[in-house]
Amino acid sequence: MNKVNKRYEQLDKVFDFLEQNRLFSGTVLLSEGGNSFYKRAIGKRSFQEKQSVDSIFEIASISKSFTATAIMLLADNGSIRIDDPIKKFFPQLPYRGISIENLLNHTSGLKDYMEWFENEENWNHHKIVNNQDVVNFLETIQPKELFTVNKKWEYCNTGYVLLAETIRLVSNKEYGEFLNENIFTPLNMVNTSTYSQFLDGNLKRFALGFMYDRKKDMNFLPNEIDSHKYVYFLDGVKGDGGIKSTVEDLFKWEKSFYTNKILSKKSVDYMLKPARIKNKTTGYCPGLHKEYGGYGFGWALEEHSHYKKIVFHDGYWAGYGTGLISYRDYHKSIILLGNLDFTKEELNKTSHILALTLEKIFFHEEVNLEPFEQLIQ
């Protein structure tokens, strides 16, 4: 058996096992040299419908790569500067010394907004939060920074909401409208939008996010579980998440960083330059592997001894687990969109194990099902 056929066989073996054991529901696309060579859909996208490769998913924090690119577009045309202080756009906020760049690479020190809104004493959970509500929270509550700007790295959704609002203020267009005109349409990403599940009605081929209780062998919707009801009341927030897409559209997105159709090579290189934290460019941001990486603008970055430069982002939203991994030096990519979450925390390791397994298959390494088997023992 040649290497290509063996690779297909291994991929099918992995996904057959995942489907049979209810460990993954979703779609996958693998590409090499700018062409997709493996696509598969397993599981269900609703209680009645089977999954298909054109199913549309909540991509969660992969959305940050789009927000960052939109900011770079505004910087390229001179509308903003990356070193602009956020006070220039939000003079009502108390935070000084924080720049657009600090929001992009998570070095602002701002507190994440989600925790405050999840407290029912602070927010009526029957009311959907929007970006302006997050800005109002920062203005009225004025939560203290977690650390002095530039001193540390800490993943911060608040920063990306402010970036989305900056896009709106500078362009005089809503965040989704700007993305559609400047990214989605030019790349022919016809199934990508900032659709809100609870605000905008039905979306054809949308994959519902499920919480799977393995003991009961039952699927639940996240908003039916108290600890995950945030999927409803945070549904109106954009910039840190909120984009819906397909594996094919995200493949177009990944390819655009090679062809420079949206951004110049200079801007792409700038985006993919890791922040420097305490004289370190890596070692402060969780990587795809045990090694720790860095973070650029909307992308996590890793230099691996074997796989070389990896540009990636994962995403989590109750009911969804997503990942886009680009091996820049090999021109390969893995795109995973899943809509099966688990009530048992241990089972949520599946997505990460799957990504590492697909990577090994990609690079013609031996794999087995043991890591998945251990999850269900």
| pLDDT class of 278 with cuts at 50, 70, 90 | confident
Domain membership of residue 104 (yes or no) is yes
Quickly list DSSP for 165-194: HHHHHHHSS-HHHHHIIIIITTTT-TT-B-
Domain membership of residue 129 (yes or no) is yes
Q: Which of 25, 31, 55, 61 is catalytic?
A: 61
Question: What does the alpha-carbon distance between residue 223 and residue 231 come to, in Å, rounded to a whole number?
Answer: 6
245 in catalytic set = no
Domain membership of residue 26 (yes or no) is yes
pLDDT number for residue 224: 93
Domain membership of residue 48 (yes or no) is no
pLDDT number for residue 5: 81
Range of the domain at 244: 3-41+55-375
| pLDDT class of 377 with cuts at 50, 70, 90 | confident
pLDDT of 1 over the 60 cut: no
Question: What does the alpha-carbon distance between residue 155 and residue 115 come to, in Å, rounded to a whole number?
Answer: 14
**Mode of pairing for the β-strands spanning 210-213 and 340-342:** parallel
* Strands (E) located in 129-281: 210-213, 218-220, 244-245
Question: What does the alpha-carbon distance between residue 36 and residue 234 come to, in Å, rounded to a whole number?
Answer: 34
Residues 6+ apart with CB under 8 A from 276: none
Q: Give backbone dihedrals phi and psi of 17, rounded to 5 degrees, phi first.
A: -65, -45
Q: How many domains does the chain have?
A: 1
pLDDT number for residue 61: 98
Mean pLDDT value across residues 225-236: 96
Domain membership of residue 47 (yes or no) is no
* CATH number, position 242: 3.40.710.10
pLDDT of 348 over the 70 cut: yes
- Chain Cα centroid distance, residue 88: 28
Domain membership of residue 46 (yes or no) is no
Domain membership of residue 49 (yes or no) is no
Mean pLDDT value across residues 101-105: 98
Domain membership of residue 50 (yes or no) is no
pLDDT of 297 over the 70 cut: yes
Percent of the chain with pLDDT over 70: 100
127-164 tens-digit pLDDT: 999 999 999 999 999 999 999 999 999 999 999 999 99
Question: What does the alpha-carbon distance between residue 97 and residue 146 come to, in Å, rounded to a whole number?
Answer: 14
Based on C-alpha coordinates, what's the Rg of the chain?
A: 20
- Residue 320's nearest CA partner among 340, 304, 302, 303 is 340
202-212 tens-digit pLDDT: 899 999 999 99
Question: What does the alpha-carbon distance between residue 148 and residue 98 come to, in Å, rounded to a whole number?
Answer: 9
> Does pTM surpass 0.75?
yes
